[in-house]
Structure 1
Amino acid sequence: MKKLTYYSLIFFLILNLFQGYSQTKFKGAVKDDKEKLSLFGALVSIKADGTTAVDQVSVDFDGTFKVTTTKTFGTVEISMNGFITKSIPFYGKGDESTVDLGVIYLEENSVTERDIIVTTSSIDVIKDRKTPISSSTMRNYEMREKASNKDFIELTSQMPGVYTSRVGGGYGDTRMNVRGFEQNNISPMIDGIPVYDLEAGIVDWANIASMNDVASSIQLQRGLGASKLVNSSVAGTMNMILRDANYDKGGFLYNSVGNDGYKKFVGSFATGLLQSGFSANILLSSTSGDGYVNSTNFEAYSYYIALGFKKKKHDFQFKVFGSPQWHNQRVSDIALSTYIERGNGVDEPNYKYNRDWGYLDNEQNATKVNFGHKPLGIFQWDINFTDKTQLSAKLYGSKGTSGSTDFSGGILGSSAQDITDVNGQIDLTFISQYNSDTLDPDPTSVYNRDPNYIDGNGNEFYINSPYAGAYIDSNDNTVYTYDSGITLLSEITNQTFYGGILNLSTQLTDNFKLNYGLDARKTVYNKTRIVNNLFGADGYDLDFSSTPSYSLNTNNTALPEPLFDFTKKNLGATPVDYKYDAKIAYLGSYAQIEYDIWKLNFLAQGGFNRQFIQRVNYSLGNYAESNPGSGVYDIDNNTSESTSELSIDGYNAKFGVNFNVTAKHNLWANAGFVSRPPVFVTVFSGLNNDINPNYKNEKFKSIEIGYGFRSRSISLNISAYSSDHKDAETPYYSPEQGNFGTTSGINRVNRGVELDVTAAPMRRLILKGTLSLGDWKYSSNATFYDLLPGSTTPVSTLYIKDHKIGGAPQLMASMSASYEFFKNFNLGTNLKYSDKMYASPSLERYDPNFIVYKENATFFKNPILLPDFTVVDAFASYRFRINVVNYIDLRLNVDNIFNRKYISESNSSYEVDSPDPTTFDVATLSGPSFRDNGNVYRGLAGGNNAFFGLGRTWNFTVRYEF
């Protein structure tokens, strides 16, 4: 028996010896079985025992692969996310032969990635070499690796035509610019559901800042996009696709630390599709930190629950995603000279300086805080009547709250931001003493404050007010807006929306496919203000009355007390200043056809919707005692006034064609137009129900052509676009004055060229590059309407024609490299260069009626050009296996590794030879320039407001997969 064991051992050793010194080579191509498109990135694995991969390669850009193994028997396994894995057994002789497996067709997997099928109905995703649209895609693993401690939206900055800025540096405050268009011209969608703010036209990334944890992929479609819905997209459509409940079985734990106290923990588990047809996918995360910029602390959580059931032709998905968060912000304008003053005082700015906080009672208080929680629920039912016809029904809804804090009022002609201590922070102690008249008594001090109200017992009360103008208090004193004390208020938006999308997708013939659908939605934004902190005052003038008609005493008050406790999310406090509902509903229909013939793919879309908007204004009333002497106040006497329902139509049409010249070359083109209804605040933008008489639909026209190339080692896309945007309008609003002005007739032309290249010149090395060249400018002058009563110049021409559009670089280039030094250990770097970025001042600077420095013709020049800059990021990652199914990933990201200091944006445009306002003589309308005063930083006038990009940041992550 021992001899048998001995000889058996010798036999297997010899067998392994021969196997170790012989090789078998396999080659072939991988394509999908429907459209016969190459599946770049598919994984080809050699498995000897049926489970463990001993050799692996990825399919090249042209769909081909070559793999070599020392094994003489086993299986060749071809797999790709979204397709059914195919296995091919082999038994080789180990004679250096090459086995040609030919073309291997993979069948789309309707279980693990059913969304790929549904994209033709409820989620629209670009298909390479078929859909004639410019696009870039981030898959979950890419977001997981690159997110670092950035906002997830910053990951798009490596896409052509995209610029992102952290603005003030707060968590989730990153803004995005695509092809020179601000992000209010981008249509963000979660699982095909638009999440664009219809009331204010803004995009709120902060409340979906954990999207990179729960999305299976994010695709940016630049230009008109492929979405069938009649949405607001012209610059691009951001499709964020959530994981389905029947995602692959398994889970992970993720822990991350970084600079400035950054901490993140994520846990996730998915059951996969069970035999019963049920499935579940759950994720929880928490993120917190102190922030790179001073006093930009933040705390955020996220949760995601997906439940599914699949039975024969029916597939049900129920998903809930939410991300409650709060974060301190840096919002106030800061001049370059102020950054330097808070730095070394000569030439080195304090890039982290933040004015929007201060100390009160020896405790740090942030005065600009953003907070919110707006969960989204989705129920989706897909019925596959046949393999060619599918009906997709999607219901969704959200109910949540968001808000931010801001100051109201002033002290003797100064706003709160002007009242700072020796460290440049807002002097909350001084504000509190002024509000309560507890400053050191000095009969000659201008800061002595008279009481606003004296009751029958002689008690004195100090009442803050935001009133825009002047009023007479109970002592017959005239009280002005910036003389009435400072209060911190919170602007609260309670949002409710619900809707549905019904889509029928049918393959009428082998070459002709039709999508038809209905889209309906109802949205209500309830907006108000509440008192956050009176800073020592006794009360707040709720109704802007000329004389407060309510009584106050030390025991009972008509004012909201304890006011607003942010930490407890006490959002039920009494409304002040205003309260209104913005009601928006729409009903739309659309159709899309796809026709394939020979090497041509045609795509046509059209849609129409009717939007219904209505404003309900609530009168807050006087907070008088309902029973005098009882101390009981009537705070429920609000009345409301509603406008009639106003209907506005919107529509779009798009057409595109793709021509696959050969297996490597393709050409495409698209064109279209969009008529977009104005957002709510453009129609009703005041503190009353008055309608803006000048509102009109915005019009977009776009044309784009492109070329694609695919080979074994390179993938290239190049496109050229021209977009015309007409009849845009910008309302100017303050909570005290409502809509005090509006700029109409803003017309612009954005043209440019984009290039992206991915290359694999050698094994283990991947290179990527992008280039974006733009020419973005205004195509006509605009008109400013001053809506304040008694205005002497109610209408002004703004001379902006042919001026450059600022806010993003018109020249951007990036290069990245990733190299696998040894198995599963990668080092990489990314470089991005930005140039030709102009400031983005308010267009009203081009109004000759508002110019103080009459002799300064620079007010009619292009905005100033900001300095160019280059930012370099780097990373190192290593993955090691614990056993067959468990892995640990280690990753270190260092962003801006050379700590480059650069200006990421500016909203003002003083030239160095412009008069310096700090030394300007109003009487003679003259004075020394910024250059004369030496008030210059890197060739820019020191009076320009600016935000700096973040310096060096780092993040280290450990991820355990099971």
Structure 2
Amino acid sequence: MKKLLLFILLLGSFAAFSQGTVTGTLLDGETGETLPSANVVETGTSNGTVADMDGNFTLNVSKNQGAVTVSFVGYSSKKINYTLVNGSANLGSVSLDLDADALGEVVIVGKGVIDLAGGRETPVAVTTILAEEIQRKAIGNVEITEAVKSAPSTHVSGESGFGDSQLYLRGFDQSNIAILLNGQPVNGMEDGLVYWSNWAGVADIATAIQVQRGLGASKLAISSVGGTTNIVMKAADRKAGGFARFLGGNDSYAKGTVAYNTGINDNGWAFSALVDYWQAHRKWSKGTYGQGQNYFFAVGYKPNETHAFNFLITGAPQLHGQKWSQSKERIAADPKFNEHWGYTSDGIESERQNYYHKPVINLNWDWDISDVTDLSTVAYASWGRGGGTGNLGSSSARKRTEDPDGDGPLIGQIDYDAIAANNAIVGVGGDYGGEFGSGYIRRASVNNHQWFGMVSNLNHEFSKSFNVNVGADLRFYRGDHFRQVTDLYGLSGWDDNGTDNPGLLITATFDPTPWAALSNFADEGDRIGYDYSENINYQGIFGQMEYATDVFSMFVQGAFSNQSYQRDGRFIEDEDGLGKSDKVSKTGYNVKGGLSYTIAGDHKIYANAGYYSRQPYLDNIFVDIRSSNELIKNPEVDNQTITSFEGGYHFKSNRIKANFNAYVTDWDNRTLTDDGIDDNGTPKDETDDFEINIIQRGIRQFHTGAEFDISFKASDWLTLQGFLSGGRWIYKGESSVFIYNDATGALISESDGVNRDGVKVSNAPQLTMGLGGLVKIVKGLSVDASIKHQERHYEYTDVNTSATDYMPSRLSPYAITDAGLTYDFDLGSNELTFRANVYNVFDYIRLSNSDAFGYYTTNGRTYNGSIKYSF
């Protein structure tokens, strides 16, 4: 009898459970590819199944009407209602969309050292851009920074030359934003600067970019002020296949790319390779030509389920003509004017040409020690070779144009034929004048470096709620800086020291191109102007603890670092050189923490705080007086201090994601160094101008602001995004200014107690707002557009001017609209995609930045707040 009852109960439960079956196929919403092994669960139960290798699934369900939830790693889950008809329901093709919040789950290698916001439960202010959007926004004759310009409190100044883009977060420039590639720091060790021309091909190999504003999620022993930008590069792809791509654009821009992946073989090996070539006649201003290549090679090896390795080498050799500072009057007459180029027998040549080649090697190792412990390590090396060209000497044979205001002549386009004819008369040129001038040459300021480093992070989960990680960050850097001659233009040689003190006659020239720069640069005896090296060693340790439950999380994080600096000066006139300076060592530290609380599942509030004691950059510790080759050591340069608070609210549902963030950052005790030109009281007479070094001490910046962004998936065919960010970025208190003569090292002026209180920070617009959308018109065809409005952007603040008699004027507000169209052709198992972009649809010309000389970098924008151009 008991057996009969048990049988009846089991039969009844089976009947209740197996009302029917639901079937369907799971696809990637963008590519249309199937999603094998995706999860399908009857909503509200533990009853589920897994899709087969073709994305097909069959699930026995317990109700005639209900819902199933489908999910896949790296994609947003989706809930789908069903109604059984005759015991079955076919859902057809179910598309899932990529989820930027799940980025950490799709990183193939280095997930322990690539600090992503999703790797920590306590949130930060973050924007993530996935590969598809990068391909839409940053492929073509723009830099990868274009992909992030729609993030709140982000400003991208495209500049007018290829690779000269500038990125700003919350009003801080990119020397104060940590830029990481697969966990590898790439900010310059000497000054923190980032040159995007060195990474011209990274858009082709980027899996994602994550912009963390403010305190960020980085555990490294670095203390960026503005935030952290993580660029995650491809690993060796485990899926076999390849592609070819051709791009064309305005001003003769052309780019071709080919790539191939072998896929992973039975022994766990995978290989990927990509190469491309690009060139253009100009970017925006005249004479801003460019050309370059990109190469990427990766090897992946997974010997077992415990270890995974990925080796990659990549580089982007390039050269491009630049537009240097121009007079306001000349740019007002023609915003595209550029005085630094002319025609030679070989075509267009610019006296201001940037060229660089920076091969990077990166080795990632992920070791799953146990179910609760893992170790990630990246070792890297880079060898940067190249520099920027400019002119030395003078020649009366440059073409000149009349001043638009009629006040006198201005230098115009270069006449290289006339320069060569004049040089033939001069004979030996040098830094002295004569009846026919000192002669005119093209020189290169060379910046070579070797950089080796390693980042390692050990993570251990003590429980499901509590985890700890610790790690180390080691860097060894040497930079060599000198000048060399690239073209004598008919001179028989160049005497770098003048007739009163004749030195070695320089006759050797060196090709200012990126591939030649790897090995063909001047030996010590052929260097001019200056010659020195800088060595930096950096050791850092860091750690983090986080406690997190379903509704509450908190973390504390700390780092300590030691950095040593040493200069080694050489010069050709002194056989002993200047020798090595004393080694200067400085320690720094940071501590930050935060907590969050989840309300009703979809709502989360958080607050974070941090304090940094950051070592100054090497350029703040040593100032090079180039002509006399003396080193000025500034022992009183202390650490900068940064105090930051932020808080916010995050909301996420199936269709809406919204974020609100507010922040306060107090950045004190900054030391800034710069160089410039003193007109000697005669602005119209350039012959008596001389170079100066400027040192500013005790600068304090205070940044407050708020940000709001929202993404709304209105339907399967329409997605909308918008943001609004506003800030108040000002200087506070007083600072000191010291100005030195670059040639003699003499102190020209010293200004103590310069009042900067209330002066606006001029780096970026303090109010930005934007709106964008993606519309899928029919299968395979989509259009997208975005508009960004920027205002409350101020002119550069002169270092000698106090707040009592100078308040910077506002630049004109402007809005830039971009649009694009994508069509994916259905070719069965193969893919063919057509993409068209239009940047700055309405062709507005507006000022995007001003520089330290009071002249303007136009990028197609006005030079002040009163004149507007459009055509």
Q: Report the TM-score range of the alignment, normalised by the length of the smaller protein.
A: 0.7 to 0.9
Partner residue, 1:706: 648
Partner residue, 1:682: 620
Partner residue, 1:957: none
Partner residue, 1:850: none
Partner residue, 2:469: 515
Q: 2:154 aligns with which of 138, 141, 162?
A: 162
Change (3 A) 1:503 1:212: same
Partner residue, 1:620: 572
Give 2:319's aligned amino acid.
Answer: W
Moved more, 560-569 or 666-675: 560-569
> For residues 764 and 500 of structure 1, what CA distance do their matches in structure 2 show?
45
Deviation sequence 1:432-475 (CA, Å, 0-9, x none):
444444xxxxxxxxxxxxx7xxxxxxxxx43221xxxxx7xxxx
> For residues 307 and 863 of structure 2, what CA distance do their matches in structure 1 show?
63
> For residues 329 and 107 of structure 1, what CA distance do their matches in structure 2 show?
39
1:892 partnered with 2:836? yes
Alignment of 1:255-294 (within 5 A): 255-291=246-282, 292-294=284-286
> For residues 128 and 522 of structure 1, what CA distance do their matches in structure 2 show?
28
Deviation sequence 1:668-695 (CA, Å, 0-9, x none):
1111012221111111121433312332
Q: 1:488 aligns with which of 426, 439, 442?
A: 442
Partner residue, 1:750: 703
Q: 2:310 aligns with which of 314, 317, 320?
A: 317
Give 2:781's aligned amino acid.
Answer: F
Task: After TM superposition, give the deviation of residue 128 of structure 1 in Å.
Answer: 8.7
Change (3 A) 1:882 1:585: same
Task: After TM superposition, give the deviation of residue 183 of structure 1 in Å.
Answer: 1.2
> For residues 272 and 575 of structure 1, what CA distance do their matches in structure 2 show?
49
1:233 partnered with 2:199? no
Deviation sequence 1:558-603 (CA, Å, 0-9, x none):
3132454648726323211111111000111111111113511112
Task: After TM superposition, give the deviation of residue 84 of structure 1 in Å.
Answer: 13
Change (3 A) 1:412 1:298: closer
Task: After TM superposition, give the deviation of residue 206 of structure 1 in Å.
Answer: 0.7
1:250 partnered with 2:261? no
> For residues 824 and 525 of structure 1, what CA distance do their matches in structure 2 show?
50
Deviation sequence 1:832-875 (CA, Å, 0-9, x none):
1111111124323449xxxxxxxxx8xx2221111111111111
Q: 2:508 aligns with which of 556, 561, 582?
A: 561
Change (3 A) 1:737 1:674: farther
Q: 2:774 aligns with which of 807, 818, 823?
A: 818
Moved more, 655-664 or 733-742: 733-742
CA contact (8 A) 1:254 1:265 kept: yes
Alignment of 1:368-383 (within 5 A): 368-383=352-367
Give 1:264's aligned amino acid.
Answer: K
Task: After TM superposition, give the deviation of residue 142 of structure 1 in Å.
Answer: 1.0
1:604 partnered with 2:588? no
Task: After TM superposition, give the deviation of residue 431 of structure 1 in Å.
Answer: 4.0
TM-score (normalizing by structure 2) = 0.82
Partner residue, 1:425: 413
1:901 partnered with 2:845? yes
Deviation sequence 1:212-258 (CA, Å, 0-9, x none):
11111111111121111112411011111111224433322221111
Change (3 A) 1:586 1:112: closer
> For residues 441 and 31 of structure 2, what CA distance do their matches in structure 1 show?
66
Partner residue, 1:144: 135
Task: After TM superposition, give the deviation of residue 763 of structure 1 in Å.
Answer: 3.6
Gaps of 5+ in 1: 1-22, 31-40, 61-72, 342-349, 438-450, 452-460, 466-470, 472-477, 551-557, 623-636, 848-856, 912-935, 953-962
Task: After TM superposition, give the deviation of residue 726 of structure 1 in Å.
Answer: 1.0
Q: 1:122 aligns with which of 92, 113, 118?
A: 113
Partner residue, 1:865: 810
Change (3 A) 1:81 1:297: farther
> For residues 733 and 747 of structure 1, what CA distance do their matches in structure 2 show?
21
User: Helix, strand or coil for the counterpart of 2:136?
Assistant: helix
Task: After TM superposition, give the deviation of residue 332 of structure 1 in Å.
Answer: 2.3
Gaps of 5+ in 2: 1-19, 44-55, 60-68, 678-688, 856-860
Task: After TM superposition, give the deviation of residue 42 of structure 1 in Å.
Answer: 7.6
Partner residue, 1:782: 735
Q: 1:527 aligns with which of 458, 466, 481?
A: 481
1:833 partnered with 2:808? no
Partner residue, 2:639: 697
Moved more, 133-142 or 227-236: 227-236
Partner residue, 1:463: 429
Alignment of 1:913-952 (within 5 A): 940=865
Partner residue, 1:772: 725
> For residues 250 and 395 of structure 2, what CA distance do their matches in structure 1 show?
38
Change (3 A) 1:868 1:514: same
CA contact (8 A) 1:46 1:74 kept: no
Task: After TM superposition, give the deviation of residue 733 of structure 1 in Å.
Answer: 3.1
Give 1:685's aligned amino acid.
Answer: V
Moved more, 78-87 or 148-157: 78-87
User: Helix, strand or coil for the counterpart of 1:794?
Assistant: strand
User: Helix, strand or coil for the counterpart of 2:792?
Assistant: strand
Task: After TM superposition, give the deviation of residue 294 of structure 1 in Å.
Answer: 1.3
> For residues 415 and 486 of structure 1, what CA distance do their matches in structure 2 show?
14
Deviation sequence 1:626-664 (CA, Å, 0-9, x none):
xxxxxxxxxxx5645011221111111111112111211
Identical aligned pairs, as a percentage?
27
> For residues 758 and 549 of structure 2, what CA distance do their matches in structure 1 show?
43
Partner residue, 1:14: none
Deviation sequence 1:18-38 (CA, Å, 0-9, x none):
xxxxx998999x9xxxxxxxx
CA contact (8 A) 1:749 1:777 kept: yes
User: Helix, strand or coil for the counterpart of 2:264?
Assistant: coil
Partner residue, 2:501: 547
More strand by share: 2
Superposition CA RMSD, Å: 4.2
CA contact (8 A) 2:668 2:698 kept: yes
Q: 1:572 aligns with which of 510, 521, 539?
A: 521
> For residues 567 and 742 of structure 1, what CA distance do their matches in structure 2 show?
33
> For residues 51 and 525 of structure 1, what CA distance do their matches in structure 2 show?
48
Deviation sequence 1:82-121 (CA, Å, 0-9, x none):
5899999x9964689699xxxx9x999x9996636853x2
Partner residue, 2:546: 594
User: Helix, strand or coil for the counterpart of 2:624?
Assistant: coil
Change (3 A) 1:412 1:600: same
Give 2:412's aligned amino acid.
Answer: G
> For residues 909 and 621 of structure 1, what CA distance do their matches in structure 2 show?
32
1:212 partnered with 2:203? yes
CA contact (8 A) 1:401 1:495 kept: yes
CA contact (8 A) 1:839 1:864 kept: yes
> For residues 244 and 593 of structure 1, what CA distance do their matches in structure 2 show?
29
User: Helix, strand or coil for the counterpart of 1:716?
Assistant: strand
Change (3 A) 1:894 1:508: same
CA contact (8 A) 1:529 1:578 kept: yes
Give 1:870's aligned amino acid.
Answer: A
Partner residue, 1:794: 750
Change (3 A) 1:107 1:684: closer
Task: After TM superposition, give the deviation of residue 795 of structure 1 in Å.
Answer: 3.4
1:403 partnered with 2:387? yes
> For residues 313 and 784 of structure 2, what CA distance do their matches in structure 1 show?
36
Change (3 A) 1:142 1:516: same
Task: After TM superposition, give the deviation of residue 427 of structure 1 in Å.
Answer: 3.8
User: Helix, strand or coil for the counterpart of 1:667?
Assistant: strand
1:394 partnered with 2:378? yes
Greater relative contact order (Cα < 8 A, sep 6+): 1
Partner residue, 1:931: none
The structure having more radius of gyration, on CA atoms, is 1
> For residues 842 and 791 of structure 2, what CA distance do their matches in structure 1 show?
18
CA contact (8 A) 2:361 2:381 kept: yes
> For residues 357 and 418 of structure 1, what CA distance do their matches in structure 2 show?
17
TM-score (normalizing by structure 1) = 0.75
Change (3 A) 1:242 1:597: same
CA contact (8 A) 2:486 2:511 kept: yes
